[in-house]
Structure 1
Amino acid sequence: MLWFVCLFNYADRQAIFSVFPLLRKELALTPIQLGIVGSSFMWMYALAGPLAGWMSDRVSPRKVIVGALAFWSVVTAGTALCHSYGILVFFRTLGGLGEAFYFPAAMALIGAYHGAATRSRAMALHQSSVYAGTIAGGAMSAFIAERHGWRSSFTIFGALGVVLAVVLLFCLRQPPRVAGDEPRENPLLHFAHGVREVLRNGRIVLMIAVFMGANFVAVVFLTWLPTFLLEKFHMSLSNAGFSSTAYLQAASVLGVLLGGWLADRFAAKRAGGRQLTQAIGLLCGVPFLFLTGWSITVLGLIVSMTGFGFFKGIYDANIWASLYDVVPVEKRGVAAGVMNSLGWLGGGFAPVLIAAAAQRFGLSACISATSVIYLCLAVVMMGLAAKLAKRASR
């Protein structure tokens, strides 16, 4: 059930990027304004993250998930009513607010069902819906937009999300005891204390820093790859929407499933096994990232995107499972919220920064330059894995 919720979570946020060329023409937007349309979602998503995580520790995750799904689906449908730049940014911001509440609650619910032995595999299976949703949002919105206008896809995705929320209202259940079921005194004090405790843990801070960098790279691809394919390879809108998501995200599904399986095996044999798996994914993704920007043929581009997507999936499989290795059960919700918040805050600057840099250096160079970020992140994650292994051996 959560797999389908997460699919809509990503389809609804990705749909707009494939129709950027239509928005630019109809609303007379500049590349920087388009970047802000993309960033407004992520900035609100980031700001609401700690509150969302804290609420997941205090309120039934089931209620948070169903309520968030219903809210952001209504907002997605409402995006079809936008006729000006300001209103479009407003609705994107509301979408970020609604979607921010999903991931911490979903991770808390999955974490309650799965212990260390199966955590990576369970979360990896859930993570595969991220890629399916990205493909659905990117490809379907472009396909529908070419035939019925860009507004129709938002109406369809929003309506389907509301239907799913009604179904989950009756079907989604939770374990008898989930961290956060019992009320606590001084909620604001508890929230501040939880955030402070999370940020005082150096291992968590390093994971958050890596997550910020990885999200920055991911958002560059999510936001500007459809436009890059349209302009450099002269693809149609629907072909660019499909190609910018399908190869990369489909490969990520395979990578995330392998990454979950590998991490559970590594973690059973050594401390830091999940973090080591993430480092391998980041390091192996570096050459494919570089080649994506400089490919001169469609075949070379597809191979590069597929390779990057596969190794990105290996990293992604263990984002939350690695975090839960070093966070007490009662702090998981707020830790996931803080990490999600800061991670997307970093990613939120990507659409605007790349739009500005591309005007001077071109999109090809900007996309290839993200390989340097991945290399630095791999080094940091390898160091963290080694530190965890050394600490456990004492």
Structure 2
Amino acid sequence: MSGSDTAPFLSQADDTDDGPAPGTPGLPGSMGNPKSEDPAVPDQEGLQRITGLSSGHSALIVAVLCYINLLNYMDRFTVAGVLPDIEQFFDIGDGSSGLIQTVFISSYMVLAPVFGYLGDRYNRKYLMCGGIAFWSLVTLGSSFIPRERFWLLLLTRGLVGVGEASYSTIAPTLIADLFVADQRSRMLSVFYFAIPVGSGLGYIAGSKVKDVAGDWHWALRVTPGLGVLAVVLLFLVVQEPPRGAVERHSDSPPLNPTSWWADLRALARNPSFILSSLGFTAVAFVTGSLALWAPAFLLRSRVVLGETPPCLPGDSCSSSDSLIFGLITCLTGVLGVGLGVEISRRLRRTNPRADPLVCAAGLLGSAPFLFLALACARGSIVATYIFIFIGETLLSMNWAIVADILLYVVIPTRRSTAEAFQIVLSHLLGDAGSPYLIGSISDRLRRDWPPSFLSEFRALQFSLMLCAFVGALGGAAFLGTAIFIESDRRQAQLHVQGLLPETGPTDDRIVVPQRGRSTRVPVSSVLI
């Protein structure tokens, strides 16, 4: 049992003074070069001494985190899988349907900075346990709302954001404190496989459970039971490693948290972090729009082509598109995440800017294929699926790489805050508003056209074309990231090694001469 697990609830998890003694075998700095500007990567033995966990236990922790990540995204997109039924049940239009996702993302976005602050300072394991337990209860409650209480569905979906915020801001930082270098990239790729796979399973579970039970409410009752298992696994398996220990020399000074405002100022001066977050915002905008509206768009396309009967009031909306789109999302996610990580890993050998360039290529490449998918929907549903497959594969190349960029351009004691800031930015300008925006544009276009199934299809088709334009803007942001990535990464490495101490207005200290050299001392120690 590690020391972090015996600490009081919500106490500081890491004893930052604890660490291996200088000269520990397997660790950088053991050969008398503690100030090397390019620190060596610890071997397996060294990592085990630093974290106090075996390689097998560390991999098991990642597996548990991956399971919970999959579960979170599965729950998020179960609603999209039964969206036509929800519209029929509550008698709502496209704009109100978009609010379901918008309210959830808005709550998630607001709560992320809170958990980011807590995650940089307190026991991450217990924060996640509490958040996921609350999320499971609220998700179960949302399945019992009567048809005249649509506002209550919006409220419960907003409260679900507590669980997601408590988890997504913290879990990647645990992985960062267990692994380094290429091994960290591989573990992050495994972790982020869960996003597209969980999203796809959400569509599949939503549509199939509804078909089996004959009631869409049962689709929302699958994930709460799995959430209870997630809390048990978190409590029994996960142990907390010391923050940043795997990245600093054994004999370098420990990293201590700075104030929240100091963290925000440092992140605002980090151009690689800001630009990569803007690029990821474009990814969130596109994926958020497609996640909610793609199955409904494909259903309307089939109705226009005469392949499927229309979804009439009082009837269950029967369509295989949620299942097919879910399978495509799973496959393209696994393929895209793995492809992105592998291409980036190989290119890094010759180009240190490989990560942002691969992200830019993925976004810029996905834009024309998503446009073609929308343009071809009235002529051939098969061509639409092919272009969606290619576009989503390219789009998925970003997930693990963006997370890796954040972890190596931000120092360990700011990573949860950085994760939270990236979540706020990407959701505020991305998928918090994109589903509602797409639905509102669709409703506005339909008002100018005569009522028909063709009008419903065309309105949603034209509104979704906005995604291709936003994707191109995101690609440009990643190209900007490539300009600064080398210097920002190097600065973070020097800071972790204790070679670049924090200076400037974030430190409540002043410089005074002492024995022929300048020394920083607290303001309170100087008499004026």
TM-score (norm 1): 0.92
| 3-state SS of paired residue (1:24) | helix
Partners of 1:362 and 1:273 lie apart in 2 by 39
Identity between Structure 1 and Structure 2 (%): 23
What is residue 162 of structure 1 aligned with on the other side? 228
Contact 1:50 1:195 (C-alpha < 8 Å) held by counterparts? no
Residue of 454, 459, 462 corresponding to 1:362: 459
Count residues with an aligned counterpart.
388
What is residue 96 of structure 1 aligned with on the other side? 161
Partners of 1:237 and 1:42 lie apart in 2 by 28
Contact 1:121 1:264 (C-alpha < 8 Å) held by counterparts? no
Within a 5 Å distance, the mapping from 1:134-149 to structure 2 comes to 134-148=199-213, 149=215
What is residue 437 of structure 2 aligned with on the other side? 353
Residue of 104, 119, 122 corresponding to 1:56: 119
What is residue 407 of structure 2 aligned with on the other side? 324
> Per-residue deviation at 1:300?
0.5
Q: Deviations over 1:269-303 (max 9, x none)?
A: 43322111111111221221111211231211111
What is residue 343 of structure 1 aligned with on the other side? 426
> Per-residue deviation at 1:228?
0.8
Partners of 1:117 and 1:370 lie apart in 2 by 32
Partners of 1:80 and 1:391 lie apart in 2 by 47
What is residue 129 of structure 1 aligned with on the other side? 194
Q: Give the partner amino acid of 1:245.
A: G
> Per-residue deviation at 1:33?
1.2
Within a 5 Å distance, the mapping from 1:207-218 to structure 2 comes to 207-218=276-287
1:392–1:61 CA distance, 2 compared to 1 (3 A): closer
Q: Does residue 375 of structure 1 match 2:472?
A: yes
Partners of 1:301 and 1:102 lie apart in 2 by 35
Q: Give the partner amino acid of 1:97.
A: V
| 3-state SS of paired residue (1:388) | helix
Q: Does residue 116 of structure 1 match 2:199?
A: no
Q: Deviations over 1:324-345 (max 9, x none)?
A: 2211121111101110121112
What is residue 305 of structure 1 aligned with on the other side? 388
What is residue 385 of structure 1 aligned with on the other side? 482
What is residue 55 of structure 2 aligned with on the other side? none
Q: Give the partner amino acid of 1:371.
A: A
| 3-state SS of paired residue (2:259) | helix
Q: Does residue 34 of structure 1 match 2:97?
A: yes
Residue of 262, 270, 277 corresponding to 2:351: 270
What is residue 297 of structure 2 aligned with on the other side? 228
Q: Does residue 2 of structure 1 match 2:65?
A: yes
Partners of 1:41 and 1:33 lie apart in 2 by 13
Contact 1:109 1:174 (C-alpha < 8 Å) held by counterparts? yes
Q: Which moved more, 1:194-203 or 1:109-118?
A: 194-203
What is residue 198 of structure 1 aligned with on the other side? 267
> Per-residue deviation at 1:43?
0.5
Contact 1:58 1:183 (C-alpha < 8 Å) held by counterparts? no
Structure 1 residue runs of 4 or more that deviate by more than 3 Å after TM superposition: 182-185, 234-238, 267-270, 386-393
Partners of 1:100 and 1:52 lie apart in 2 by 7
Partners of 1:353 and 1:391 lie apart in 2 by 35
Q: Deviations over 1:71-117 (max 9, x none)?
A: 21221111111221111011000001221111121111111112133
Partners of 1:60 and 1:392 lie apart in 2 by 27
Q: Give the partner amino acid of 1:373.
A: V
Q: Deviations over 1:225-272 (max 9, x none)?
A: 111112111456451211222213311211101211222333344332
Partners of 2:489 and 2:332 lie apart in 1 by 34
Q: Does residue 173 of structure 1 match 2:244?
A: no
Q: Does residue 66 of structure 1 match 2:147?
A: no
1:365–1:249 CA distance, 2 compared to 1 (3 A): farther
| 3-state SS of paired residue (2:410) | coil
What is residue 287 of structure 1 aligned with on the other side? 368
Contact 1:118 1:264 (C-alpha < 8 Å) held by counterparts? no
1:63–1:269 CA distance, 2 compared to 1 (3 A): farther
Residue of 315, 332, 335 corresponding to 2:398: 315
Q: Give the partner amino acid of 1:42.
A: I
Task: Select the structure with the greater relative contact order (CA < 8 A; seq sep ≥ 6).
Answer: 1
Residue of 315, 326, 337 corresponding to 1:245: 326
Q: Deviations over 1:161-211 (max 9, x none)?
A: 112212331122232x1359x9989xxx82233223212322222112111
Partners of 1:20 and 1:324 lie apart in 2 by 36
1:363–1:264 CA distance, 2 compared to 1 (3 A): same
Contact 1:203 1:326 (C-alpha < 8 Å) held by counterparts? yes
> Per-residue deviation at 1:348?
0.6
TM-score (norm 2): 0.69
1:21–1:275 CA distance, 2 compared to 1 (3 A): same
Contact 1:24 1:30 (C-alpha < 8 Å) held by counterparts? yes
Listed as ranges, the gaps of 5+ residues in structure 1 are none
| 3-state SS of paired residue (2:343) | helix
What is residue 14 of structure 1 aligned with on the other side? 77
Listed as ranges, the gaps of 5+ residues in structure 2 are 1-63, 246-253, 309-316, 446-457, 491-528
Partners of 1:287 and 1:30 lie apart in 2 by 29
> Per-residue deviation at 1:391?
8.4
